[in-house]
Amino acid sequence: MKIEILGTGCPKCQQLSSNVERAVEELKIQAEIVEVTDLNEIMNYGIMMTPGLAIDGQVKSAGKVLTGEEIKKLLTEEL
């Protein structure tokens, strides 16, 4: 599973990244977590507000910091 954090590295992006790492750890799943900071790449995903979250290339969230519980729900749907 590949999880991408879409954002420029702002505090909200950093918080989302931290929440994702914690959720992956709590679920004990194997996942590659990548931070995408290039604006052109982010725009290729079709989102206009960061932070964004993509799982296996599919955008799951944009413009908000998901909680650990919200992230775990998304991740378990993908398993």
pLDDT surpasses 90 at 76: yes
pLDDT score, position 74: 97
Q: How many domains, in total, are found in the chain?
A: 1
CATH of the domain at 59: 3.40.30.10
Residue positions annotated with a catalytic role: 10, 13
pLDDT score, position 79: 82
Give the closest residue to 52 by CA, choosing from 34, 31, 78: 34
Which pLDDT band, with edges at 50, 70 and 90, does 15 fall under? very high
For the residues 65-69, what does the mean pLDDT come to? 98
Dist CA 70 CA 75 (whole Å): 9
Q: Mean pLDDT, to the nearest integer, of 36-43?
A: 95
- Residue 35: give the domain boundaries: 2-78
- Residues 56 and 78 sit within 8 Å (Cβ to Cβ): yes
Burial state string for 58-73 with b = 16 or more CB within 10 A and e = fewer than 16:
eebbbeebbebebbbe
CB atoms within 10 A of CB 57: 8
